[in-house]
Structure 1
Amino acid sequence: MRGERASYWNTYILFTVPIKLGRAGYAIGKGRRGSGRGRGNHIVFATKKDWSGCLGPNSESPLNEVLEGIERYSYAAYKQLVGIKWELKGPPLTLVVDHVQQDPYAPPSSVRAVMKLEDTGIPTELYQKRIRRVALTDYISRRAGDIISDKSYDKSQSTGRWQEPKGGDFTINAPKQEVLPRSSCIIKLKEGTVELRFTVGLPARGREIMGKHAAKLLCDFIPEIASGALLFANQYQQRLERHILSVEDQDAMRQQLDARGLVSDGVVAFQSPQNFEVVLDRPNGGPVTGMGIPRGITLLTGGGFHGKSTLLEAIQYGVYDHIPGDGRELVVTDSTAAVVKAEDGRSVTGTDITQFIDNLPGGKSTKRFTTEDASGFTSMASSLREAIELGSRTLLIDEDNSATNLLVRDSRMYAHIPNEPITPLITRIRAMITSGTNLILVVGGLGDWLSVADHIIGMDNYIPRDLKHTTAAILKDHPTVVVESPQQFPINPRRISLANVAGKDQINPAKRNRFLIAFARGDNERALDLSHFDHIVEEGQVLQVAWVLHQLCHRHELAEVGFTQAAQLVEGPGFDFESMESEKIGAKGNDAKMLYSGQLVAVRPIEVGMAVARTRGFKVL
């Protein structure tokens, strides 16, 4: 349990000077009482030196002795823990403290428990494939979270009163229903290690270190959590293997969609219409039969409360793998699918929406449409263009969340207002399909869409039915003329700059609403709300988006980038957190702090791009 000090690290030495009672000074805390060092009425100052002259123990000292040795020292003394690899007792484990909080009230400290893969006993076949590593690390994070919760290690001892104990709580970014790459657990094949990443509130009374309690947290609790989460012998091994194989099956099924001409497949309890029935192979669970939604224009229709929106929601979350038993582990969707809806008041910058609105009064152009307060129509038109520019091949739209005047315009309105500058989606959709974009649309009251649909699925008491043939008779009795535009649907790539959006280190999730990203530059503060992003399912994904936005604002080589290039900063690193710490990213300062906190969760490039598009103040070059 000895430490190996990093050669570059400089920290602090405390020294004290005697003063009279009541004298003012620039104190950072009292000295250690009863030790002859800083006793009585002294003020403790700090200067950059080596701790060893003050504390006695050197870098070869056991961690518990170092912590007990700084009992009742100023909180800044915790900083000596950083930069040393501490070998702990119990399972062969190395503890690394990456960040120490400034004071007991600051965001918690970041620590890593590192173990060699060969010491875990985990069979090699469970982590050699990338998708299996994702599933394994997800399971380990869940297991660690369960141990922390069961042992009540996540409970802070803080009372809110100044001189009472504070901190002492452990946190790991425990997953929800989705199985996603996350920085809370990382397997590094090149190094042959697996890491668990926690945040911990280092304990204090007032601003005085509670060293003995800290020793128990770091030297006893962490080995206990790591032993339960990392050692294969301590797992419910059948449950672990089932988790990994289920995720692998979901990924394999999703990979088959494109070759089968499908955008989604739902193997669910209800009976699939015969014309939509497909069989997909699974490497572990064998073939499964379910309802496949083909490419093209698909309508989900039916009466209210019969399951239209419920089915669309299942399709929407099929871009993610789910844990066994969730109920959605056999629903898989094109991984590029994007939800598009109206967002009154969103910011739009330099987006070409001429395909939907043009020839405005006064000759105003919509080639580079910009507004701080978009209407329902212009916000949805912009989102459509952005989703396609970001590579989405499947658009998911619910009539209830849409600007109706973007979806359709009937013949009476064409006759009534012949000079309308708005061109609805229904006239453009065929050109979009030709260019490779597919559409799944929930519709309950816009019958004109029946005339252009390739596939019509009617929901009746949550049972899907193929209504394409019965719709033909309805269209014959109730004809509708839809003029489809032959005009192509080009997407012109944009170059952008976020260099002037925020000041240094001033992009962070808001404290009260964890789905807000706060920006600050001087006295100018603004926020980006991601709570309406349907594919943002965890707060850690908001952190991941904030990470990318910070890179775009502050890294010199990213001062001017393509819009899609900005989004794809996470296409590799976002799904492989090991590479996020490589030279390609070059994490420093607060960037490294975000990485090592273990709180990041993978997000798709589409969500990153959508966030960039809604960031107020970025420029289109």
Structure 2
Amino acid sequence: MRDLQALHRTLQELDGQGYGGYKRLRGTYDLGDFRLRVDRVQVDPYAPPSRMRAVFSPGTLGLPSEATADRERRVATADYLARRFHSAASNGHTSPGSAPAPAPRGRWGNGGSGEEARAVVAYPCGQEILERSTVLIDDDRVEIRFEVGLPAAGRRIKGRLADRILTQRLPAILDQALTPEHRDDPALLEHVRLYTDQLALQSALTGRGLVAFIDDGAILPRRSGDSPLPLTDSAVAFRSPPSLRTTFELPSGRTVTGMGVPDGITVVVGGGYHGKSTLLSALSSGVYPHIAGDGREWVLTRDDAVAVRSEDGRAVTGVDISPFISGLPTGADTRHFTTTNASGSTSQAANLFEAIEASASVLLIDEDTSATNFMIRDDRMKRLVPDHKEPITPFVERVRPLREHTGVSTVLVAGGSGAFFDVADLVIAMDSYRPQDVTRKAHAIAADSPWGDEADASDLHLQDVAPFRARTPRIVALGSLAPSSKTKPARARGRTEIQVGKESIDLSAVNQLVDAGQTAAIARAIEQLGNTGAGNGSTARNMALERAAQEIVNGVRAHGIDSLAGASEEHPGYLVAPRQQEIQAAVNRYRPLKLANGSR
């Protein structure tokens, strides 16, 4: 291990040399308060920045024992420190979800300006509190992972500037963000308590017969359709109708009161722009805890809830969609449905059953993003196209059997049809972002004007529809995730795409992926699964998809998210833990996927 003086000397010697000389920096340096480890050096000034980490002893940071007592608290503490570091590296200019911090200053000097100020690149955090690999908290060390753009003039090393970046700028950022004299310990502990309270409430939902909770005072609207930040001007605070109000007492001693959404079939109605889809969006993102001040920090949904929509053009491999679609004119077997180009209705049916296969206990569905012919068929259409000529049994006729036979609950936004009033356990009307319980009125309307006037014919039709029987697990040929033509590891391209060999997995419709780091982690998971199944002969493995995804999640819980990094010496500072549901969603959309029990 080299020391600070060795780092000074090396950078001074490199000044003016060719860019490749930066390779000499690889290794570990003792800088006093922390050790700097240079994991990877970029090959030229235009390549991705160099990857480095700062390693502290736990005693140096003085983290409170309450902040590191168990896995959940370490996740929250690491999330908090990652936000502090990002804010300090950004000179106090925060990104969505970042904790505020003034510009770095202190015993290591000021933060610099221009190229020097921009050189240290921290990984951003969103509104959700998630397990991130940016900060590692272990019994014997705390690591902060980041990137550094090593400076150059053309392709010549600017060694003196690099010296200031690594020996002044970087320590100043770390000093501001992490050391006890600058860290706001009360804010850290409040972040940890908020997270543990959120997890406690979320885990209590099932026992209370609820699928979700929204507190009184929540701010559900966002600033715009593409912004995760809460609306601040003229935002209407949420308030539960009396019939649905419930209270939770939490481990920290705090009490929260708001609307509980019960098990069963919940239909959300209301006029346009009154908050129906906003409510469903909040429930969809409520599978993750949110930071204080987000407005949705007390909007919590069961952590296995899945948003289901139509997705024209996606690939489907061996999914049983027969309870909704059967008797296709093409003769396709819908008990093991396979296509490289699904329609709106077949894609939504596949998405629904894949969600159930991924252990979802709650489905979240918006009429606006659904295939109309999958959702309903009105009387006029039935008279023109009889049921025996229509291969699709609409969701309105199957949502009640789905609930009764599988136990899965549904929260559905319906803005244009009252067809679901007959089958709803609860009907919520949104009026200017305020919910009202209108169940009795909706049921009275349904009784006065029932959906369909040929009940006997409808019952006869349903006798021919496949039941919601016990599903046979789909056994994935894991080797298909590692095609022989693949020369590079699977890798993410932003939040919505994964490249596996020559194939691209489109995840743009998987809207519960909220961080590009989750997509990067799923790419690592796919690589890991592919390597598991790419053995020779009898050593090749096949596995039920649900079990394969669960093993990945269990590995992360047991060994940390670094377990997805493999044997690489480079730090995996950009990874964010995904859910089992999104891992399975990615594998399901891989076009060359093969099953060992029947399809492709």
What count of residue pairs does the alignment treat as equivalent? 539
Encode CA deviations 1:87-127: one digit per residue, 9 max, x unaligned.
003xx201111112222221111101010111111211111
3-state DSSP of counterpart to 1:377: helix
In structure 2, which of residues 499, 511, 518 is the aligned counterpart of residue 518 of structure 1? 499
Task: Say which SS state the counterpart of residue 367 (structure 1) adopts.
Answer: helix
- Cα distance between partner residues in 2 of 1:390 and 1:462: 32
- Name 2:17's counterpart in structure 1: 73
Aligned residue identity for 2:387: P
Check the 8 A contact 2:2/2:28 in 1, yes or no. Answer: yes
Map 1:551-570 → 2, pairs under 5 A: 551-555=528-532, 556=534, 560-570=542-552
TM-score relative to the length of structure 1: 0.82
Report the counterpart of residue 126 of structure 1 in structure 2. 67
The equivalent of 2:335 in structure 1 is 367
* Residues 1:236 and 2:184 aligned together: yes
Mapping of residues 22-421 of structure 1, within 5 Å: 62-82=6-26, 84-89=27-32, 92-150=33-91, 157=115, 169-189=119-139, 192-269=140-217, 270-361=238-329, 363-415=331-383, 416-419=385-388, 420-421=390-391
Question: 8 Å contact 1:170–1:198 — kept in the other structure?
Answer: yes
- 8 Å Cα contact 2:495-2:517 kept in structure 1: no
What amino acid is aligned across from residue 219 of structure 1 in structure 2? T
Which secondary structure does the structure 1 equivalent of 2:286 belong to? helix
What SS is found at the alignment partner of 2:206?
coil
Deviates more, 1:274-283 or 1:362-371: 362-371
Give the alignment of 1:450-599 within 5 angstroms: 450-481=421-452, 483=458, 485=462, 487-496=467-476, 497=478, 498-500=481-483, 503-510=486-493, 515-520=496-501, 525-555=502-532, 556=534, 560-574=542-556, 579-581=560-562, 587-589=566-568, 593=570, 596-599=571-574
The offset of 1:239, in angstroms, is 2.1
Query: For the residues of structure 1 that align with 2:528 and 2:41, how far apart are their CA atoms?
Result: 23
Q: Could you tell me whether the CA contact under 8 Å between 2:131 and 2:561 is conserved in 1?
A: no
Q: What SS does the aligned partner of 1:319 have?
A: coil
In structure 2, how many angstroms separate the alpha carbons of the residues matched to 1:315 and 1:115? Answer: 39
Name the CA distance, whole Å, in 2 between partners of 1:211 and 1:224. 19
C-alpha distance in 2 between matches for 1:493 and 1:155: 58
Please report how far the alpha carbon of residue 302 of structure 1 lies from its aligned counterpart in structure 2 after TM superposition.
Answer: 1.6
Q: Measured at CA, do residues 334 and 586 of structure 1 come closer, stay the same or move farther in structure 2, by a change above 3 Å? A: closer
Q: Secondary structure at the match of 2:311?
A: coil
Q: CA deviation at 1:446?
A: 2.4
Distance in 1 of aligned mates of 2:325 and 2:485: 32
CA distance in 2, matches of 1:108, 1:67: 17
TM-superposed deviation, 1:271: 2.8
Are residues 229 and 616 of structure 1, via their aligned partners in 2, closer, same or farther at CA, if it must alter by over 3 Å? same
Cα deviations by residue, 1:204-258 (Å, 9 ceiling, x for unpaired): 2333322222222222222222222222221123222222221221111111101
Which whole-Å CA distance do the structure 1 matches of 2:153 and 2:565 have between them?
37
Instruction: Give how far 1:148 is off.
Output: 0.9
Distance 1:207-1:506 versus aligned 2 partners, 3 A rule: same
State the alpha-carbon separation in 2 of the partners of residues 218 and 154 from structure 1. 12
Alpha-carbon distance in 2 for matches of 1:228, 1:491: 54
Deviations 1:302-342 (A, max 9, x none): 22222111111111111111111111111111001111001
Indicate if the aligned counterparts of 2:74 and 2:137 stay in contact, CA closer than 8 A.
yes
C-alpha distance after superposition, 1:505-553 (max 9, x if no partner)? 243233xx55322333xxxx34223233211222212211221122233
Q: Distance in 2 between matches of 1:574 and 1:480?
A: 48
Q: Aligned partners of 1:218 and 1:314: how far apart in 2?
A: 42
Q: Shift of residue 454 of structure 1?
A: 0.9
Secondary structure class of the residue paired with 2:334: coil
- 1:567-600 deviations in Å (ceiling 9; x for gaps): 2254234457x53445xx57134xx54xx14111
Structure 1 residues not aligned, in runs of 5+: 5-59, 158-165
Amino acid at match of 2:273: F
Structure 1 runs of 4+ off > 6 angstroms? 152-156
Rounded to whole Å, the distance in 2 between the matches of 1:181 and 1:154 is 31
Matched with 2:96 is none
Q: C-alpha distance in 2, partners of 1:250/1:588?
A: 34
The 1:292/1:66 distance shift into structure 2, 3 A limit, reads same
Aligned CA RMSD, in angstroms, stands at 2.5
Closer, same or farther in 2 for the Cα pair 1:179/1:579, shift >3 Å? closer
Q: CA deviation at 1:288?
A: 1.6
Residues of 2 paired with 1:400 and 1:154: CA distance?
50
Residues 178, 321 of structure 1: 8 Å contact kept:
yes
Separation in 1 of the partners of 2:485 and 2:325? 32
**For residue 487 of structure 2, what is the amino acid of its counterpart?**
K
Contact 1:145 1:172 in 2 (8 A): yes
Alpha-carbon separation, structure 2, partners of 1:442 and 1:110? 45
Which residue of structure 1 aligns with residue 594 of structure 2? 619
In structure 2, how many angstroms separate the alpha carbons of the residues matched to 1:586 and 1:95?
20
Deviates further, 324-333 or 500-509: 500-509
Indicate the SS of the match to 1:431.
Answer: helix
CA distance in 1 between partners of 2:135 and 2:508 (Å): 25
> Given that residues 272 and 464 in structure 1 are in contact (C-alpha distance below 8 angstroms), is that contact kept between their aligned partners in structure 2?
yes
- Going from structure 1 to structure 2, the CA distance change for 1:273 and 1:502 (only over 3 Å counts) comes to farther
Change in CA separation of 1:119 and 1:250 when aligned onto 2, cut-off 3 Å: same
**Worse-matched range after superposition: 324-333 or 276-285:** 276-285
Q: Summarize the Cα distance change of 1:212–1:575 in structure 2 as closer, same or farther, 3 Å threshold.
A: farther
Question: Residues of 1 paired with 2:15 and 2:595: CA distance?
Answer: 55
**Contact kept? 2:213, 2:300, Cα under 8 Å:** yes
Report the alpha carbon displacement of residue 375 of structure 1 after superposing the two structures with TM: 0.9
Counterpart residue type for residue 78 of structure 2? T
* Alpha-carbon distance in 1 for matches of 2:161, 2:429: 62
Question: Structure 2: how far apart are the matches of 1:302 and 1:565?
Answer: 40
Paired with 2:585 and 2:168, the residues of 1 have a C-alpha distance of 44
Counterpart amino acid of residue 563 in structure 1: L
Aligned to 1:249, what secondary structure does the other structure show?
helix
Shift of 1:168: 6.7
Bigger shift: residues 488-497 or 312-321: 488-497
Kept in 2: contact 1:86–1:94 (CA 8 A): yes
SS in 2 for 1:137: helix
Tell whether the 8 Å contact from 2:495 to 2:516 is kept in structure 1 after alignment: yes
